[in-house]
Amino acid sequence: MYLSESAPQRIRGPLVALDQFMIVFGQLLAYSANAAVSASRGGPQVQVAYDPSGQFAPGAWIPGTPPARWTRLTVAAGNGDAWRAMLVIGTIPAIALWVGMRMMPESSRWYAARQRYEEAIGSLKRIRDPQRDDVAAEINQMVEVRRLESAQPTWSLGKAWSVRWSRRLIVIGCALGFFDQLTGINTAMYYLPKILMAAGFSSANAIMLNVVTGLASTVGAAIGIYLVGRFARRHVGIYQETGIVIALFSLALVFGVGIGPHLDASGAIASTVPAFLPWLVLGLVGAFVFVKQSGTVNWVLVSRSFRPGSAAPRRAWPSRPDGS
Closest CA to 262 of 215, 323, 198, 319: 198
Give the model confidence (pLDDT) of 270-294 as tens digits: 778 888 999 999 999 999 999 988 8
* pLDDT at position 319: 35
Asked whether 47 and 57 are in contact (CB, 8 A), the reply is no
- Residues 96, 204, single domain; the answer is yes
- Residues 129, 254, single domain; the answer is no
Is position 171 within any domain? yes
- Residues 237, 289, single domain; the answer is yes
Is 30's pLDDT higher than 80?
yes
- Residues 140, 186, single domain; the answer is no
- Residues 157, 301, single domain; the answer is yes
CATH code for position 18? 1.20.1250.20
For residue 279, the surrounding DSSP H or E stretch is: helix 276-294
- Residues 10, 134, single domain; the answer is no
Rounded to an integer, what distance in angstroms lies between the CA atom of residue 273 and that of residue 259? Answer: 7
Is 308's pLDDT higher than 60?
no
- Residues 236, 263, single domain; the answer is yes
* pLDDT at position 307: 55
Is position 70 within any domain? no
- Residues 129, 209, single domain; the answer is no
Lowest-confidence pick of 25-29, 67-71, 91-95, 270-274: 67-71
Neighbours of 50 (CB within 10 A): 12
Is position 321 within any domain? no
- Residues 220, 251, single domain; the answer is yes
- Residues 147, 183, single domain; the answer is no
Mean pLDDT of 1-24: 78
* pLDDT at position 266: 65
* pLDDT at position 19: 80
- Residues 281, 226, single domain; the answer is yes
Boundaries of domain holding 134: 105-151
- Residues 163, 285, single domain; the answer is yes
* pLDDT at position 306: 64
Considering its fold, how many domains does the chain have in total? 2
